[in-house]
């Protein structure tokens, strides 16, 4: 039986060594698993999930950027937090932040605190991939980059909390009772005080809202296209200093927040 020549054995050893280190390099250079990524559903579109594929949610009562979920609410809706924010494809770190909520640190998306859903109310998040929390009470929705959202908070001091429309960053929206159906009568200086909500292009809304209720009008004053809800052109109020503000409610008895039909 012939034996391998020493140079050939050395060559085999060198190749094996190269393959070993090549595999080791691939393992060490592999990207870490994302702690937040996008999952796409045929019904709900793309929304946020954690690294185990568990759905993340936002709460209408958090329009002002603070967590409105406390006490027993947290048993059913545990907060989401992670020590290392690693984002999946299609997500931008500029859209994420951290607040100190009612149960410690909590990650936010576009200023909305993020939560899990515990169906049994025991703080335990169960099945991966489920979206059982979607639409609960018309105030809980899967987390996604909404064009518009539904807020729930007190608008008029001394009265109960109300549901009303805000943009995806929690800024309040208004209607003008002087407008004709599908026509804006706010022009000139009025627009300085009440800037329009421009056409967002792709309309991403909570499941409680009906896309058929929205349309777009083309303004003739150079302000561009304006989004309309149920024939009412949508506006901001310039004196609302921060998300969740509703200073425009009832101004001159013609400007009001918009209560969605849900």
Sign of CA dihedral 114, 117, 118, 121: positive
Q: Map out the domains of the chain as residue ranges.
A: 36-142, 148-257
Looking at residue 232, its pLDDT comes to: 98
Give CA separation, 106 vs 66, 97, 180, 183, in Å.
Answer: 10, 8, 44, 42
> Quick check: 221 pLDDT over 90?
yes
> Quick check: 44 pLDDT over 70?
yes
Looking at residue 128, its pLDDT comes to: 80
What's the pTM? 0.86
Nearest to 44 by CA among 116, 124, 108, 130: 130
Q: Distance between CA atoms of 58 and 64, rounded to whole angstroms? A: 12
Q: Which pLDDT band, with edges at 50, 70 and 90, does 5 fall under?
A: low
> Quick check: 2 pLDDT over 50?
no
Query: For 97-117, how does the pLDDT look when each residue is reduced to its tens digit (9 = 90+)?
Result: 999 988 899 999 999 999 999
> Quick check: 11 pLDDT over 80?
no
Q: pLDDT over 70 for what percent of the chain? A: 88
Q: Do the beta carbons of residue 206 and residue 133 sit within 8 Å?
A: no
Structure tokens at 210: 């009906």
Q: Which pLDDT band, with edges at 50, 70 and 90, does 126 fall under?
A: confident
| HSE-CB of 96 using CA atoms within 13 angstroms | 20
Structure tokens at 42: 């045929």
More confident: 15 or 30: 30
Query: For 164-187, how does the pLDDT look when each residue is reduced to its tens digit (9 = 90+)?
Result: 999 999 999 999 999 999 999 999
């Amino acid at each position: 039986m012939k034996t391998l020549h020493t140079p050939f054995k050395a060559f085999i050893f060198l190749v094996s060594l190269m393959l070993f280190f090549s595999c080791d390099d691939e393992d060490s250079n592999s990207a870490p698993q994302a702690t937040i990524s996008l999952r796409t559903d045929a019904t709900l579109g793309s929304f946020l999930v954690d690294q185990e594929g568990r759905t993340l949610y936002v709460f209408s009562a958090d329009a002002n950027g603070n967590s409105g979920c406390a006490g027993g609410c947290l048993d059913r809706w545990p907060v989401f937090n992670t020590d290392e924010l690693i984002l999946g494809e299609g997500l931008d770190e500029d859209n994420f932040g951290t607040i100190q909520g009612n149960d410690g640190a909590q990650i936010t998306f576009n200023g909305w605190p993020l939560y899990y859903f515990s169906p049994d109310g025991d703080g335990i998040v169960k099945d991966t991939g489920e979206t059982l929390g979607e639409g609960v009470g018309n105030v809980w929705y899967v987390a996604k980059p909404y064009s518009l959202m539904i807020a729930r908070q007190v608008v008029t001091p001394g009265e109960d909390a109300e549901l009303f429309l805000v943009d995806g960053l929690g800024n309040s929206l208004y209607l003008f009772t002087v407008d004709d159906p599908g026509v804006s009568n706010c022009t000139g200086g009025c627009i300085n005080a009440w800037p329009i909500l421009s056409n967002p292009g792709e309309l991403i809304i909570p499941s409680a809202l009906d896309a058929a209720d929205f349309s777009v009008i083309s303004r003739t004053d150079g302000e561009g296209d304006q989004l309309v809800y149920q024939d009412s052109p949508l506006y901001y109020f310039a004196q609302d200093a921060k998300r969740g503000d509703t200073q425009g409610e009832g101004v001159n008895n013609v400007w009001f927040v918009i209560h969605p039909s849900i």
